[in-house]
Amino acid sequence: MEGAVICFGLFITGTILQLTVGSVNTILFQFPVNLIFAGIYWVCMLIMHLNKKRSAIIRWLSGMEASLTAIGAFLLMVLIMGLNRQTPVQSDIHPDGIVADIGFSQLTSSWSFLLIFLYMVTILLLTTLRKGLKFKIANIGFLLNHIGLSVVLWGAILGSGDMQRLHMVAQTGNPEWRASDTMGKISELPLAIQLEQFTIDEYPPKVMVIDNFTGVSLPNGKPEVLSMENDSLNGKLLDWQLTGSKYLPRAAWIQGRYISYQNEGATAALYVKAKNLKSGAKKEGWVSYGSFMFPHQALELDNGKSLVMPPCEPKRFASTVTVFTKEGKSIPATIEVNKPLKVNGWKIYLLGYDESRGRWSKTCTFELVKDPWLPVVYTGIVLMLAGAFHLFLFTKTRRKKI
Amino acid sequence: MTWDYFGWIVLASSLCWTAGALIAWKETSRPLAVGITASGILLFFLFIIGLWISLERPPLRTLGETRLWYSFFLPLVGLITYIRWNYRWILSFSTLMAIVFCVINLLKPEIHNKTLMPALQSPWFAPHVIVYMFAYAVLGAAFLVALYLLWKQKSKSTAIKYMELSDNLVYVGIAFLTIGMLFGAIWAKEAWGHYWSWDPKETWAAATWLGYLLYIHLRKHQPESHTAALGIVIFAFVLLQICWFGINYLPAAQGSSIHVYNM
Query: Would you tell me how many other CB atoms lie within 10 Å of the CB of residue A7?
Result: 23
Residue B54's domain comprises 1-116
Give the one of B162, B179, B191 whose C-beta lies nearest to A338's C-beta.
B191
Please determine, for residue B256, whether its predicted confidence score (pLDDT) is greater than 80: no
Same domain, B30 and B146: no
Same domain, B204 and B138: yes
The mean predicted confidence, pLDDT, of chain B is: 91
Chain B from 73 to 102: CB within 8 A of any A CB: 84-88
Same domain, B193 and B150: yes
Same domain, A144 and A169: no
Residue A351's domain comprises 164-201+315-370
Same domain, A274 and A390: no
Element (H, E) at A284: strand A282-288
Same domain, A169 and A208: no
Mean pLDDT in residue range B252-256? 81
Same domain, B3 and B97: yes
B16-72 residue pLDDT tens = 999 999 999 999 999 999 999 999 999 999 999 999 999 889 998 888 898 899 999
Taking contacts as CB-CB distances below 8 angstroms, the residues of chain B near A156 are 196
Same domain, A241 and A255: yes
| pLDDT score for A92 | 66
Please determine, for residue B182, whether its predicted confidence score (pLDDT) is greater than 90: yes
Total number of domains in chain A: 3
Residues of chain A with pLDDT under 50: 398-402
Nearest to residue A67, comparing CAs of B233, B166, B213? B213
| pLDDT score for A402 | 44
Interface residue B192 vs chain A (CB under 8 A): yes
The residue among B82, B116, B150 that closes a domain is B116
Interface residue B20 vs chain A (CB under 8 A): no
Q: Cα distance from A306 to chain B (closest Cα, Å)? A: 22
Same domain, B132 and B243: yes
Give the one of A337, A338, A381 whose C-beta lies nearest to B185's C-beta.
A381
pLDDT band (50, 70, 90) for residue B111: low
pTM: 0.90
Interface residue B159 vs chain A (CB under 8 A): no
Nearest to residue A383, comparing CAs of B261, B165, B256, B178? B178
Same domain, B82 and B141: no
Mean pLDDT in residue range B141-149? 91
Mean pLDDT in residue range B155-174? 90
pLDDT band (50, 70, 90) for residue B84: confident
Inter-chain residue contact B113 with A227, CB threshold 8 Å: yes
Cis peptide before A219 (omega within 30 of 0): yes
| pLDDT score for A28 | 76
| pLDDT score for B262 | 57
B178 by Cβ neighbours in 10 Å (0-12 / 13-18 / 19+) ranks as buried
Nearest CA in chain A to B216: A68
The residue among B81, B116, B151 that closes a domain is B116
| pLDDT score for A90 | 65
Same domain, B193 and B233: yes
Among A337, A341, A390, A399, the strongest candidate for a mutation testing the B interface, having the largest count of B CBs within 10 A, is A337
Rg of chain A on CA atoms, in Å: 30
A175-223 residue pLDDT tens = 999 999 888 899 999 999 999 999 999 999 999 999 988 888 888 877 8
The residue among B116, B131, B150 that closes a domain is B116
Same domain, B135 and B24: no
Lowest mean pLDDT among A85-99, B194-208, B236-250: A85-99
Q: Cα distance from B62 to chain A (closest Cα, Å)? A: 16
Give the one of A81, A163, A314 whose C-beta lies nearest to B203's C-beta.
A81
Same domain, A306 and A158: no
- Sheet containing A299-300, strands listed edge to edge, beginning at the edge strand earlier in sequence: A226-227, A206-211, A305-308, A299-300
For residues A380, A383, A387, A389, the Cα torsion angle rounded to the nearest 10 degrees is: 120
ipTM of the complex, rounded to two decimals? 0.91
CA distance B156 to B162: 10
Total number of domains in chain B: 2
Interface residue B152 vs chain A (CB under 8 A): no
Same domain, B141 and B104: no
